[in-house]
Amino acid sequence: MNISLQTGELLHTLSDFAVLAAFSDIPLPSDVAELFVAEDFTAAAGQTLLLYPRGVVAARRLLLVGMGSSSSVTADTFRRAGALAVQQARSVQASALTAGYEGSIAVPFRDSAQAFVEGLELGGYRFLRYRTGLTAAQTFDVTDAVLVVRPKNAAAVQSGISAGQAISRGVNFARDLVNEPGSAVTPARLGEEAQALGARLGLAVTVLDKPALIAQGFGGILAVGQGSANEPRFIVMEYGNPGTGKPTICLVGKGITFDSGGLSIKPADGMEKMKNDMAGSAAVFGLMQTVAELKLPLHVVGLVSSAENMPSSTAYRPGDILTTLSGKTVEVLNTDAEGRIALSDALFYAQRYHPEAIIELSTLTGAMVIALGSQTTGVMGTNEALVEAIRSAGEATSERVWPLPLWPEYFDMIKSEVADIKNIGGRPAGSITAGAFLASFTGDYPFAHLDIAGTAFLDKASKPYEAAGATGVGVRLLTEYLRKLA
């Protein structure tokens, strides 16, 4: 979408589709109040009313979007409003909209503009690539939006627009990768996506294929991928340079392009959703793109362990003992606990950058879906300040995270008799023992693990800017974290 800024007043601006954010405790501008309304439209958050002003104001259509009371408005209210606006404009086939508001509220213009733009771009997202025979109405897209603001707020709003666009492009890129079927997004394809991203944004990209993984001893990724004809990859994407006083952050993503469970095979019911088992890596791709577009003054290294977990005569077995890249041996008790095994190589690899923080995202455990549902991502970390910074970024972006402990007792639960560590710790604390497994490969570096098993993929949207399917979770969250750090 082309999104730009215009100075002036919304109601005096010619427009096919004007969007006015209305607050329940701030009177509507008098021209609008004269039109009618008031009675049924209370400007409650999420309420909308589409008007045809017939010359009373300059716009042909005027959409009132309720924001609730000015004191309770947050950035997320604007994000929801942007999504409602684009969806309503689309439903009447208006290809361009203008938007603005009057009155003073506590959210800074920069943040409200960013969130509104995110709402426009995220709320307009659809995955239609594989649908044929759609009508023009079904594929109709809003192509242009103009934010109408007072001159004194123009600079702040322009900066919000740029940030909102860079962030939502990253989210929608991640959503596309996850929504694609496992047959299309293989480990090799993720490697190609990384190369393309690198070429487009000037990132240094390295993709290790199977022979390279064998030569360099990536025993975890290789074991998980050995049952599939789609060979595994390890992907390194580097933005910025080390050694210039800029903090180095490693972002690590789980890129299991399909998780059948392997020989410890999953039940058929719901297995189709396991194409989303590369959502952590998709978030890393989206983040690398967003960070590069925002030109953040940081050194960010994206690391992806990618494999397909399949049962076959070449698959790894329960009872196998693997040597990971770190040299640590792993007893495999369940081939469906594959993410932690593949990730162990990436987490160990991350240490070579001596990073300020290693932040890892993975659809790691079903237990996390049970614990926190689809609303909240679980975070586990070895550094309290890091966990708190991520939690607070979650509040700011409404991609909420909640901490679980990684106390030493949990590490005891994954000790093995025959190897250094075993890949499952039993049903109790299933998400935490998985986190403890990961933390066993990050040395003394500050580490945070985000378990996005519940938040990466939705059966049903519950907010206007969501859609069924991939969410792109992690991109908004960690962009916020990285911008605060920069």
Residues that are catalytic: 266, 340
Residue nearer to Zn ion on the CB measure, 198 or 339: 339
Largest Cα–Cα distance in the chain? 81
- Phi, psi dihedrals of residue 179, rounded to the nearest 5°: -70, -25
Residue nearer to ligand BES on the CB measure, 121 or 180: 180
Find all residues with CB under 8 Å of 122, minimum gap 6, and list them: 79, 82, 83, 168, 171, 172, 465, 466, 472
| Residues within window 437-456 making contact with ligand BES, judged by CB under 6 A | 453
339 near Zn ion, rule: CB under 5 A = yes
Residue nearer to ligand BES on the CB measure, 207 or 424: 424
Question: Among 8-16, 63-71, 113-121, 332-340, which window interacts with ligand BES (CB under 6 A)?
Answer: 332-340
H helix or E strand, kind and range, residue 72 = none
At closest approach, how far in Å is the CB of 338 from Zn ion? 6
- Binding partner at 424 among Mn ion, ligand BES, Zn ion, none, C-beta below 5 to 8 Å by kind: ligand BES
* HEC secondary structure over 80-142: HHHHHHHHHHHHCCCCEEEEECCCCCCCCHHHHHHHHHHHHHHHCCCCCCCCCCCCHHHHCCC
Helices (H) and strands (E) in the chain, counts: 15, 19
Residue nearer to Zn ion on the CB measure, 180 or 259: 259
Residue nearer to Mn ion on the CB measure, 84 or 347: 347
Choose, by CB under 6 A, the member of 49, 201, 369, 419 that binds ligand BES: 369
At closest approach, how far in Å is the CB of 127 from ligand BES? 19
At closest approach, how far in Å is the CB of 392 from Zn ion? 29
Residue nearer to Mn ion on the CB measure, 153 or 264: 264
The contact pattern for ligand BES, residues 395-424, with x = CB under 6 A and - = no contact, is -----------------------------x
Choose, by CB under 5 A, the member of 118, 121, 176, 336 that binds Mn ion: 336
At closest approach, how far in Å is the CB of 309 from Mn ion? 6
Q: Which of 47, 130, 145 is nearest to 95 (CA)?
A: 145
At closest approach, how far in Å is the CB of 382 from ligand BES? 21
Choose, by CB under 5 A, the member of 76, 121, 259, 451 that binds Mn ion: 259
Q: Report residue 135 CA to chain centroid gap.
A: 30
259 near Zn ion, rule: CB under 5 A = yes
Dist CA 255 CA 336 (whole Å)? 14
Q: Report residue 174 CA to chain centroid gap.
A: 7
360 near ligand BES, rule: CB under 6 A = no
- Phi, psi dihedrals of residue 235, rounded to the nearest 5°: -120, 130
Dist CA 67 CA 63 (whole Å)? 13
Question: Which residues of the shown chain bind ligand BES in the complex (CB under 6 A)?
Answer: 259, 277, 334, 336-339, 363-367, 369, 424, 430, 453
